Amino acid sequence: MTKNEVLVKNQKMGDNVLARVKELEGQGNLNFPANYAPENAMKSAMLILQDLKGSKKDGYKPALEFANPNSVANALMDMVVQGLNPQKSQGYFIMYGDKVQFQRSYLGTMSVTKRVTGAKEINAEVIFEGDDVEYETINGKITNLKHKTKFGNRDTKNIIGAYATIVFEDESKNYTEIMTTDEIETAWKQSQMVYNGEFKADGTHRKYPQEMSKKTVINRACKKLLNSSDDSSLLKQQVMNSDDRQRKEVFDTQVSENHATEDLDFPDDVVDGEFKEADQEPEPMQKPVDYDEETGEVKEDDKDDNPF
């Protein structure tokens, strides 16, 4: 297949995904943020996908030349239904074997959390040695957190914890997660790309511990609030299904790379670029090695090399 034929096929797939999105929107099953244009997000995604490459094992071939078409369609659908745009660093596309996956960044997770829960804002801060932090716990919920600090305490070598607060118009709904540095680093150690017996001295988590600590506690807070939400919208379902599918595809890739004898069968629901919804929702699978239990992230590598 020539490069031009690949582009035409995937453009047709993108058009079919957009058509399905418009159908869902017309039925009232989808509501996008006021400033979100699915067409613009799709254009950005297709440009990014054109530059996506396979692994060394695949000869670094362009992903669209050999990726499972259904996985590309599902990745695009995941992105659009969640109202995210990779151009705004709200997510990125990753190859797992021959499958493309859309993975939310923590900025994307914050955006989705606001839409699902109705939160007004999400704030995070690190706690330095010498800071004065007080809070109450009522029925297992952290309330009335007060944090006093001094400029002289700001030293990234002396971070002892971090917290994130999801703020609502009704302050009684505010939700706070707090983590110690030990808890944060335990979460980081779940990723072999970040920790392999020791943390990489030049890795993102060592270069920017303040921002990465905030990111981790934000993801943990958002994950818990999303999971506890009773929202039954298509957006909430898509968020949950996307996370399940991501864990499944990473695990399947690891099984393949370990030369497992069991054949894993995936339906090919895209014919000549036509997008079709899967008949069943993906079932949760065993968690991959780089799955962060605390934050819900699948950690493929340091995509957020610059966390700012």
- Choose among 88, 8, 6, 16: nearest CA to 45: 88
- Cβ contact 103:91 at 8 Å: yes
When pLDDT is averaged across residues 168-190 and rounded to a whole number, the result is 95
What distance in Å separates the CA atoms of residue 183 and residue 199, rounded to the nearest whole number?
A: 15
- Cβ contact 220:176 at 8 Å: no
pLDDT of residue 246: 56
Say yes or no to pLDDT of 266 above 80: no
pLDDT of residue 306: 54
- Cβ contact 168:118 at 8 Å: yes
When pLDDT is averaged across residues 237-243 and rounded to a whole number, the result is 67
pLDDT of residue 32: 87
**Domain boundaries defined on the chain:** 3-111+231-257, 113-228
Say yes or no to pLDDT of 294 above 50: no
Angle, helix 181-188 to helix 209-228, in steps of 10 degrees: 80
Say yes or no to pLDDT of 269 above 60: no
What integer best gives the mean pLDDT of the chain? 80
What distance in Å separates the CA atoms of residue 176 and residue 300, rounded to the nearest whole number?
A: 27
pLDDT of residue 203: 87
**18-22, 219-223, 276-280: segment of lowest average pLDDT:** 276-280
Q: pLDDT > 70: what percent of the chain?
A: 75
Q: Where are the beta strands (DSSP E) in the chain?
A: 91-96, 99-104, 121-128, 132-138, 141-148, 159-167, 175-180
What distance in Å separates the CA atoms of residue 145 and residue 137, rounded to the nearest whole number?
A: 9
pLDDT of residue 229: 78
When pLDDT is averaged across residues 229-240 and rounded to a whole number, the result is 67
What distance in Å separates the CA atoms of residue 5 and residue 2, rounded to the nearest whole number?
A: 5
CA dihedral for 64, 283, 115, 176, sign (positive or negative):
negative
- Please give the residue that has the higher pLDDT: either 125 or 238: 125
**15-29, 67-81, 231-245: segment of lowest average pLDDT:** 231-245
Residue 21's φ and ψ, nearest 5 degrees, are -65, -45
When pLDDT is averaged across residues 94-115 and rounded to a whole number, the result is 92
pLDDT of residue 1: 67
Exposure class string for 100-118: b at 16+ Cβ within 10 A, else e: bbbbbbbbbbbbbbbbbbe
Say yes or no to pLDDT of 10 above 60: yes
What distance in Å separates the CA atoms of residue 181 and residue 170, rounded to the nearest whole number?
A: 30
- Give CA angle at 182 (181, 185), nearest 5°: 85
- Please give the residue that has the higher pLDDT: either 120 or 197: 120
Q: How confident is the model at residue 7 (pLDDT cuts 50, 70, 90)?
A: confident
What distance in Å separates the CA atoms of residue 8 and residue 185, rounded to the nearest whole number?
A: 45
- What residue has token string 């991501």? 246
Q: How confident is the model at residue 281 (pLDDT cuts 50, 70, 90)?
A: very low
